[in-house]
């Protein structure tokens, strides 16, 4: 595993710490209120203008089946890139706060347990261990499923 593959962005939503591989995170954007798009899934808050491009914004807490994210000074949008049918799609994830970037070796990651999670297990890729803490490593492709991406993509283009 090269260094880039072992780096993760750690962020918080609720009381849990989550992680995404650093290579899927394109940038961290200060929160700006999304423009509402009718008939989108509940977790899709709308779209923002990112340097002239439409960026759909998904509330990660809502997507995980929890309460809506409360926007504070530390709330931000993670601009992530996912693959859909061999095409790269940009999505914004609303999170509560960014914590740090860490490196995790394979030995510091374990498969997900079948119990104890407060959301769907298929959203979790691994559990990482560092500094006597655990971090939930998310599967960004599962969180932003093909069906949801299609709805976001179709809605964003029809309403522009």
Residue linked to tokens 């119990």: 115
| Per-residue pLDDT, 143 | 83
Please, which contacts does 154-157 make with residues 24 or more away whose CB atoms are closer than 8 Å?
Answer: 155/37, 155/38, 155/39, 155/40, 155/44, 156/37, 156/47, 156/54, 156/56
| Per-residue pLDDT, 160 | 44
Domains and CATH numbers, the chain: 4-155 (2.40.50.180)
| Per-residue pLDDT, 151 | 52
- Going across the sheet that includes 44-50, the strands are 25-30, 76-84, 87-95, 53-59, 44-50
| Per-residue pLDDT, 117 | 55
| Averages of pLDDT over each 10 residues, the chain, 160 residues | 76 91 95 93 93 94 90 96 83 96 90 63 85 89 67 47
């Amino acid at each position: 595993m090269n260094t880039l593959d072992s780096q993760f962005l750690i962020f918080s939503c609720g009381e849990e710490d989550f992680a995404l591989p650093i290579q899927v995170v394109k940038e961290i954007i200060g929160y700006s209120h999304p423009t509402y798009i009718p008939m989108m899934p509940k977790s899709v808050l709308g779209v923002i203008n990112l340097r002239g491009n439409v960026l759909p914004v998904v509330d990660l807490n809502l997507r995980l089946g929890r309460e809506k994210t409360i926007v504070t000074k530390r709330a931000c949008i993670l601009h992530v890139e996912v693959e859909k049918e061999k095409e790269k799609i940009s999505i914004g994830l609303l999170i509560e706060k960014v914590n740090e970037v860490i490196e995790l070796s394979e030995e510091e990651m374990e498969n997900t347990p079948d119990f104890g999670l407060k959301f769907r297990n298929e959203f979790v890729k691994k559990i990482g261990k560092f500094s006597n803490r655990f971090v939930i490593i998310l599967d960004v492709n599962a969180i932003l499923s093909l069906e949801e991406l299609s709805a976001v993509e179709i809605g964003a283009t029809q309403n522009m």
